[in-house]
A and B are shown apart, each in its own frame.
Chain A
Amino acid sequence: KERTDIKLKMPPAVYERVVVKNSPVYQYMKVSLVLEKAQTKLTAVEFKHLITTGLKSLYGEVGAAFPFDLLTFEEDTLTAVLRIYSRGLVRLWSSLTLLGFFQQQRCAFRVLQVSRTSSYTL
């Protein structure tokens, strides 16, 4: 009789563990743009266009032909969260590094954090 009692008390759930390697299809980047003239304002559309231009100038039409998303954009700090296919991460990152001009003024991208989710600690 005792045994059945114990069985009834046992929770129905099981223990299951799954380990996945290299699973993320997307990678998320938090980047900020530093401009020579700090008072310059940019809209989200201009910001995304700037990055696309950078990609095309480094990799050409075909090399740059992969989509990326601008998830958030703060106009005050020019900080954005980008979502990119994992296989495009290196290409996007390198083109951000080499992007040096926005409308004839010098600029630089700072990569603040790279992660598998856009939940940032910074």
Chain B
Amino acid sequence: MFLDDLMRELHVQLQHAGHTCLKILFKMFKQLEKTPRTVLACERSHLDHEKARLGTHVEQHFFNHKVSLLVPGCDRLPAELDSALNSMRSFLLVKNLPLSQLLDKEFLEKAVYKGSTYGLSYQTRIDEDNCFALLPNGKLVLSVDKDTYETLGLEGKPSQYQRRPAGRYVVSVDLKDRTMSPGGKGHQRVLKALTEHNPLSCDLLLSQHLPGDESPALQSLLSNHKLSEHRPRVSTHVMTSLPCPTLVTSDLQGEQQSCDPQSFLEWLGAVDAGVTFEEESGGYLSTYECPQPQTVLDSAVRCSVTGLLLPEDIYHLLDVLRRSVLEPKLAPWLALTVHGFQDSPVSWGTAEHGFLSGGENFYTLVLFQNLDYWICMATGSHDACPP
């Protein structure tokens, strides 16, 4: 009798233990299914609508690495569009530039105060290295690790994404501020930090937009440094019999007959990556299909430009797109995707940007023939919500 009781008790205990084990395993699997936060902000409006903020979104996305354009319904890009894509301005790569050079009186006068200058440290990783950016509004952003921050002696804020314990700090210096004029108090302090405390230097990508026809002075300003000029790289592909999802202008959420923005972005990505939509191995390799409802395009052209591309150039491209979309020969829409640099310290405006798993920050503009547009702005987990 005693043994029987004991066995029963043991059985209950074992069942209980097994249950706990399963619970822990279940919890572990649930944890594994978590993915980093992502945000997708979509807007729909008309180019001439009073609330349309398309221009602001383009202007505020400072550091653009790649522009890809998809023009359905043609086998050659319209001449005007082709020239706009090929005429994106060239940029400079300055090797080992001391940051104190950016505070030089002549540099400030010719590059920072006049027109807009874009500068971004080259081949630095935002989650590991010191990254720097010179924004067109005259702000110099230093995203530095803790050790560098402590030796610099400049006032900054802990990074939003590496807060506990703070491993990264963001220092923002407004070069257009009154105290930052050459000889001013702030100017001297920052100059001292960047020359004596910690003489930081990096390879810097630089480009400048000047109002009117004035030619940029960057090359002559930095002539005593090792620099090279690069032209954006353009590549064009023509595709035939391309399955293409149907878009309905008024249906931004994909509730009626239209493809929803997320599926559309995925399809655009697949086209950009050169995915073939015909499965050859009986569904073993891929089950990806073009979203429904779909039509098959006879031909389409995709063109991509990579480099340090200025928002001003993209804005010009938008103007050309606006004229091109009205051509009756083309398909009812055009799609333009602009990718930001993954390791840029800012994404939109001065919003801090981080990496975590992807560092993606891009926007896709779909322009319809009636000049309605969709803009979808996507950011990864270490990023603010797009404006």
Residues of A within 8 A of B (CB): 11-28, 44-45, 48, 63, 67, 69-73, 81, 83, 86-91, 113-121
Instruction: Name B272's contact: one of A45, A86, A90, A118 (CB within 8 Å).
Output: A118
Contact B284 A48 (CB under 8 A): yes
B262 interface residue per 8 A CB criterion: yes
CA distance A67 to B306 in the complex (A): 33
Asked if B293 CB lies within 8 Å of chain A CBs, one says no
Contact present for A69 and B43 (CB under 8 Å) = no
Main secondary structure, interface of A, reads mixed
B46–A20 CB distance below 8 A: no
* B371: interface (CB < 8 Å): yes
Query: With A and B bound together, what is the CA distance between A87 and B32 in angstroms?
Result: 7
* CB–CB B262/A24 < 8 A: yes
B144–chain A nearest beta-carbon distance, Å: 24
- Taking a contact as CB atoms under 8 Å apart, the answer to whether A18 and B252 are in contact is yes
B331 at the A interface (CB under 8 A): no
Interface CB pairs A-B, < 8 A, 18: A17-B44, A18-B41, A20-B40, A22-B37, A24-B38, A44-B281, A48-B284, A67-B287, A69-B288, A86-B35, A90-B34, A90-B35, A113-B342, A115-B269, A116-B266, A117-B268, A119-B269, A121-B66
A113 surroundings in chain B (CB, below 8 A): 342, 358
With an 8 A cutoff between CB atoms, is B51 at the interface? yes
Q: Determine if B52 and A15 form an interchain contact, defined as CB atoms under 8 angstroms apart.
A: yes
Partner of B288 from the list A44, A71, A86, A87 (CB cut-off 8 Å) is A71
Size bracket of the B interface: 35 or more
Contact across chains for A119 and B285 when beta carbons are under 8 A apart: no
Chain B residues with CB under 8 A of A69: 285-288
Which 10 pairs of residues, A with B, have the shortest CB-CB distance?
A117-B269, A13-B46, A119-B269, A87-B33, A15-B51, A69-B286, A118-B269, A11-B46, A119-B272, A118-B273
**What is the chain A residue whose CB lies nearest that of B385?**
A19
Contact residues in A for B385 (Cβ distance below 8 Å): 19
From 336 to 381 in chain B, residues with beta carbon under 8 angstroms from any chain A beta carbon are 337, 339, 342, 357-358, 360, 362, 370-372, 378
CB proximity of A91 to chain B, nearest CB, Å: 6
A28 near B45: Cβ-Cβ < 8 Å: no
Which residues from B are CB-within-8-Å of A119? 68, 265, 268-269, 272-273, 337, 339, 362
Chain A residue at minimum C-beta to C-beta distance from B375? A17
Task: Name the residue of chain B whose CB is nearest to the CB of A80.
Answer: B285
Closest to A15 in B: B51
Which of A14, A21, A67 is in CB contact (< 8 Å) with B38? Answer: A21
CA distance A56 to B177 in the complex (A): 59
Contact residues in B for A18 (Cβ distance below 8 Å): 41-43, 252-253
Q: Is the CB of B39 within 8 A of A19?
A: yes
Q: How far, in Å, is A82 (CB) from chain B's closest CB?
A: 9
Evaluate contact between B286 and A83: CB separation under 8 angstroms: yes
CB distance from A115 to the nearest CB of B (A): 5
B174 → chain A closest CB, angstroms:
30
> From residue A110, how far is it (CB to closest CB) to chain B in Å?
15
Cβ 8 A contact of B29, one of A20, A48, A63: A63
- Report yes or no: B269 in contact with A70, Cβ–Cβ below 8 A: no
Interface residue B48 (Cβ < 8 Å from any Cβ of A): yes
Q: How far is the CA of A11 from the CA of B275 in the complex (A)?
A: 38
Q: Is the CB of A11 within 8 A of B286?
A: no
Against A, the Cβ 8 Å flags (1 = close, 0 = not) of B246-258 are 0001001100000
Out of B35, B265, B362, B372, which one reaches A27, CB within 8 Å?
B35
User: Does chain A have a CB within 8 A of B49?
Assistant: yes
Instruction: Say how far B80's CB is from chain A's closest CB, in angstroms.
Output: 24
A22-B35, A45-B285 given as contacts; is B44 within 8 A of A115 (CB)? no
Given A24-B38, A120-B273, A115 and B358 contact (CB-CB distance below 8 Å): yes
B95 interface contact, C-beta 8 A? no
Q: Which residues of A are found within 8 Å of B265, using beta-carbon distances? A: 116-117, 119
Q: Tell me the minimal C-beta distance from A30 to chain B in angstroms.
A: 8
Known interface pairs A67-B287, A72-B273, A118-B266; 18 further A-B residue pairs with C-beta atoms within 8 A, sorted by A's residue number: A16-B43, A16-B44, A17-B41, A17-B42, A19-B40, A20-B41, A21-B38, A24-B40, A24-B262, A69-B285, A69-B288, A87-B33, A90-B33, A90-B35, A115-B360, A116-B38, A116-B358, A117-B272
Cα–Cα distance between A93 and B45 once the two chains are bound (Å):
39
